[in-house]
Amino acid sequence: MTCWYEGPLAAFDTETTGVDVETDRIVSAAVVVQDAAGTRPRVSRWLVNPGVPVPAGATAVHGLTDEHLQLNGRWPAPVMFEIAETLAEQAAAGRPLVVMNAPFDLTLLDRELRRHRASSLDRWLDSAPLLVLDPRVLDKHLDRYRKGRRTLTDLCEHYGVELAGAHDAAADAQASLDVVRALGRRFAARLERLAPPELHDLQAVWHAAQARGLQAWFARSGSEESVDPAWPLRPDLPAAA
């Protein structure tokens, strides 16, 4: 029997105007679908004119300028509809969705749907929930004592995954998917008996524990920064833009 990490997987990634899920906007997104390890992926891409200026710092990361997005990007409302439809299709098919740092990308998508579609991501998933695989959460739990950073670039290097074109949504989505497959193989003894629905629920617990640990570290360091324990989606804030 094929283990879940060798079978059908999808991946989702975004590039944005910044790192605040409540106020920043999506400027590009991609969904990668792969029916089995080693097979040719199917890639859906979106480019968005967010309707707000793109800060220079964000452009320096992903290379998308205001001029380029205004000329080539689409208005957000239809794009958010299409992305939500695509993710709902993955959920309906029972295909696990890989999202690196899921609370960022999925929460930002939820806020964009609320902003432009008067909807929420949950409404698109009434009939079937997402089964999320977050390489960041999985890696931190399965190899918790390894020192060093755990960005996507770091995980690709650690697990021997090629990352061609970092900070391109499609490239990052594909790399995240490949990291999960590599991680699954490395920790097969601990993961192969877990079905994706079980693993989804466990990651929520693991992420909450990781958040508590990071919050404690911030407290010891005298920092007032807070860490949200919610995973894979942060709850809506009444004052969200």
| Domains defined along the chain, listed by start | 4-220 (3.30.420.10)
Q: Show the beta-strand stretches assigned E in 25-174.
A: 26-34, 42-47, 97-98, 132-133
**Residue whose pair of structure tokens reads 């990007």 in the numeric block:** 73
| H-helix segments, 96-234 | 102-117, 135-142, 152-159, 169-186, 188-191, 196-220
| Element (DSSP H or E) covering residue 220 | helix 196-220
Cα distance from N-terminal residue to C-terminal residue, the chain: 47
Q: Round to whole Å and give the CA distance between 172 and 169.
A: 5
Pick from 206, 155, 201: nearest CA to 181? 155
Find where tokens 């991609």 sit: 30
**Per-residue model confidence as pLDDT tens for the chain (241 residues):** 679 999 999 999 999 999 999 999 999 999 999 999 999 999 999 999 999 999 999 999 999 999 999 999 999 999 999 999 999 999 999 999 999 999 999 999 999 999 999 999 999 999 999 999 999 999 999 999 999 999 999 999 999 999 988 789 999 999 999 999 999 999 999 998 999 999 999 999 999 999 999 999 888 988 888 889 999 999 986 544 4
Q: Residue 167 carries which side chain, given as an amino acid letter?
A: H
